[in-house]
């Protein structure tokens, strides 16, 4: 096949390229490919995972798919900046970007509170953003925190069972490990409003500092100072793509949970 002949380390997955280039969902791109509507350099392809070389031309029927550059940045967010593109009164994480990395099409993947620090992703890839934040994929996030107060003795079991927050909101099963007398690491698969702070409040504590250290396969780069940002490496992007690919498992959740959730959403395609 023509694409395979040219495929190399800079190649991009066909379904992802179409989704990014046309602003489609990945499943819409996959459908078009499977229905034999897509060519690479005028050769029909039917496998959404086909790798496309950088100079190859992709068409959906007669429409050329623009090859948009894809940016994914890792920031070590500093406390004091708000997770917003613009804000009338507060400093935003976008203002923390050095000039060469600033661009208007960047979006924030999973906001952090103003006082939360750590791993924040910024991207111009709408499909990736959707996949990283959609509950279907249950991307695991790890937070390190310090707290005050005396926590309930059965905190860990309550996390595992799925906490009920003070306002009655039900959380999915999560995990807490105590790393010191007033420090813990929390793993969650969802991103409810102030989730970790509210979870700690539900077990009798108050969060003092909160830092996101991991998101799916990505670990906060220890060499990034607070407020600093760098583009992801090819390897990190590949790992992220794998984590959100339709065939990826959901780390830490039971297979039964994942399958039933997946089915519900796949039928209707769009959430």
Q: Among all residues, which ones are annotated catalytic?
A: 113
CB closer to ligand URA out of 40 and 210: 210
184 membership: H or E segment, kind and range: strand 183-188
Shortest gap between Cβ of 189 and ligand URA (angstroms)?
12
Q: Which helix (H) or strand (E) holds 185?
A: strand 183-188
Cα separation, 107 vs 129, in Å, equals 8
Say which residues have a Cβ less than 8 Å from residue 24's Cβ, sequence separation at least 6.
18, 32, 127
Q: How far is the CB of 223 from ligand URA (least distance, A)?
A: 22
Token pair for 125: 């890839």
> Which one, 103 or 206, has the nearer CB to ligand URA?
206
Cα–Cα distance measured from residue 53 to residue 92, given in angstroms and rounded to the nearest whole number: 37
Q: Answer positive or negative: Cα dihedral of 234, 66, 74, 27.
A: negative
The residues near 229 (Cβ < 8 Å, ≥ 6 apart) are 73, 74, 75, 76, 96, 97, 98, 101, 122
Token pair listed for 77:
């967010």
If phi > 0 it is left, if psi is from -120 to 50 it is alpha, else beta; for residue 22 that is alpha
Of 21 and 118, nearer to ligand URA (C-beta) is: 118
Minimum distance, C-beta of residue 71 to ligand URA, in the bound complex (Å): 23
Q: Which is nearer to ligand URA, 51 or 212 (CB)?
A: 212
CA–CA gap between residue 248 and residue 255 (Å, rounded): 11
Q: Closer to ligand URA at the Cβ: 26 or 197?
A: 197
| Beta-bridge partner residues of 77 | 118
Provide the binding-site residues for ligand URA, judged by CB under 6 A: 112-113, 116, 194-197, 210
| Residues 262, 255: Cα–Cα separation, whole Å | 10
Cβ distance to ligand URA smaller for residue 113 or 236: 113
- Pairing, β 229-231 against β 175-180: unpaired
Q: What 3-state DSSP class applies to 257? A: helix
Q: Rounded to the nearest whole angstrom, what is the least distance from the CB of residue 163 to ligand URA in the complex?
A: 13
Closest distance of CB 112 from ligand URA, Å: 4
Minimum distance from residue 141 beta carbon to ligand URA (Å): 7
């Amino acid at each position: 096949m023509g694409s395979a002949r040219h495929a190399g380390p800079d190649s991009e997955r066909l379904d992802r390229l179409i989704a990014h280039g046309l602003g489609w969902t990945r499943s819409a791109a996959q459908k078009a490919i499977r229905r034999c509507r897509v060519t690479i350099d005028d050769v029909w392809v039917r496998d959404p995972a086909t790798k496309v070389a950088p100079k190859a031309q992709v068409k959906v029927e007669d429409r050329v798919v623009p090859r948009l550059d894809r940016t994914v940045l890792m920031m070590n967010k500093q406390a004091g900046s708000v997770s917003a593109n613009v804000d009338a009164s507060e400093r935003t994480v976008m203002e923390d970007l050095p000039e060469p990395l600033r661009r208007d099409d960047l979006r924030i993947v999973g906001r952090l509170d103003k006082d939360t620090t750590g791993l924040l992703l910024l991207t111009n890839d709408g499909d990736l953003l959707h996949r990283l934040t959609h509950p279907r994929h249950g991307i695991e996030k790890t937070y390190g925190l310090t707290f005050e107060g005396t926590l309930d003795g059965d905190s860990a079991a309550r996390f595992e069972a799925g906490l009920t927050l003070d306002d009655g909101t039900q959380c999915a099963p999560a995990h807490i490990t105590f790393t010191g007398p007033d420090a813990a690491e929390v793993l969650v698969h969802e991103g409810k409003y102030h989730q970790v702070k509210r979870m700690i409040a539900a077990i009798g504590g108050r969060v003092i500092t909160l830092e996101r250290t991991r998101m799916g396969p990505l670990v906060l780069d220890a060499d990034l100072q607070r407020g600093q940002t760098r583009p992801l490496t090819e390897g990190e992007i590949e790992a992220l793509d794998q984590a959100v690919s339709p065939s990826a498992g959901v780390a830490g959740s039971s297979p039964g949970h994942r399958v039933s959730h997946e089915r519900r959403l796949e039928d209707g395609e769009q959430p």
